[in-house]
Amino acid sequence: MRPSARLVVSLLLGVLAAGACCAASPPVDEALAAALASPQRSANFIARDGARHPGPELAFFGLKPTLNVLELWPGAGYWTEILAPYLNAHGHYAVALPAPGDVEEDAVVKRWHDRIGPHKDRYGTIGETMLGPKHLEVAPPGSADLILTFRNLHNWIEGGYAEEALAACFKALKPGGILGVEDHRGRTDQAQDPKAESGYVREDYAISLARKAGFELAGASEINANPKDTKDYPKGVWTLPPTLTLGDQDRAKYVAIGESDNFVLKFRKPAGN
């Protein structure tokens, strides 16, 4: 590594470690810091790092460069740009994409493929499966060390197959393997909407779903907490950045709130299962 690049990584490690301390996460390793600092990451994704805290969150989930990692519904590729190059040399990165048939999700999958296509030399071979109501074999049984999903649980609740999706994760993980879940945190003074139409999910509800699938709660982090988020918007969570569904209507207000309040939960598949 050139001295200038080493300095950038060193400085970034210090910033990330400070953020991780506040979230009770372990330190961010140098390889992950380098992946985050890569000039080949998309500028619009880098701009969201302050809200998403990718380094501390991945460290909290126990990411290591030798792991077999599966990401469920990777969206347009925010996490792919970090995870794929980080795991390329010594681990393995795979994704379970949304099953085809939904116009909106099909468009997201196309954007993901378009984004990763030019970078196969950096990303290596990315395994692909599907996750949907009729596609629940996300990986060979007992093969994954770590399964990650970011802001997707509400979609599976809305689709009526959240329990089945989490059961599929349990089956795919090795004994002792970890499931990391991030999603928009719902209000505790309101019952959970069984369709999660606002995009918000009560944290205790998410925990109960995972426990029903057989998982143990291994930890929770407040790294993505946002106390400004009142969770009572005209278009649900999508009123806030980055979507800003209302366009210019009250835009400054919602930009000032920032991205949603999110829970970050770590679950473990018990040994012997």
Q: 137 in a domain, yes or no?
A: yes
Of 17, 19, 16, 7, the residue nearest 36 (C-alpha): 16
Q: Report the Cα 246 to chain-centroid distance in Å.
A: 25
Q: 78 in a domain, yes or no?
A: yes
Backbone angles phi, psi at 47, to 5 degrees: -65, -20
189: pLDDT strictly greater than 90: yes
Read off the pLDDT band of 178 (50, 70, 90): very high
Question: Quick check: 256 and 229 in contact, CB under 8 A?
Answer: no
Q: Tens digit of pLDDT for each residue in 190-208?
A: 999 999 999 999 999 999 9
Read off the pLDDT band of 25 (50, 70, 90): confident
Q: 100 in a domain, yes or no?
A: yes
What pLDDT does 272 receive?
A: 82
Q: 187 in a domain, yes or no?
A: yes
Q: 48 in a domain, yes or no?
A: yes
Q: Is 251 helix (H, G, I), strand (E, B) or coil?
A: helix
What is the CATH number for 262? 3.40.50.150
Q: 120 in a domain, yes or no?
A: yes
Q: Tens digit of pLDDT for each residue in 49-77?
A: 999 999 999 999 999 999 999 999 999 99
What pLDDT does 24 receive?
A: 58
- Boundaries of domain holding 172: 42-268
- In terms of pLDDT, which residue wins out, 10 or 174? 174
18: pLDDT strictly greater than 50: no
What is the chain's Cα-based Rg? 18
Q: How many domains are contained in the chain? A: 1
Read off the pLDDT band of 2 (50, 70, 90): very low
Q: Tens digit of pLDDT for each residue in 221-273?
A: 999 999 999 999 999 999 999 999 999 999 999 999 999 999 999 999 999 87
Q: Is 269 helix (H, G, I), strand (E, B) or coil?
A: coil
What pLDDT does 15 receive?
A: 40
Q: Are strands 216-221 and 262-268 parallel, antiparallel or unpaired?
A: antiparallel
Read off the pLDDT band of 130 (50, 70, 90): very high
Q: 22 in a domain, yes or no?
A: no
14: pLDDT strictly greater than 70: no
Q: 35 in a domain, yes or no?
A: no
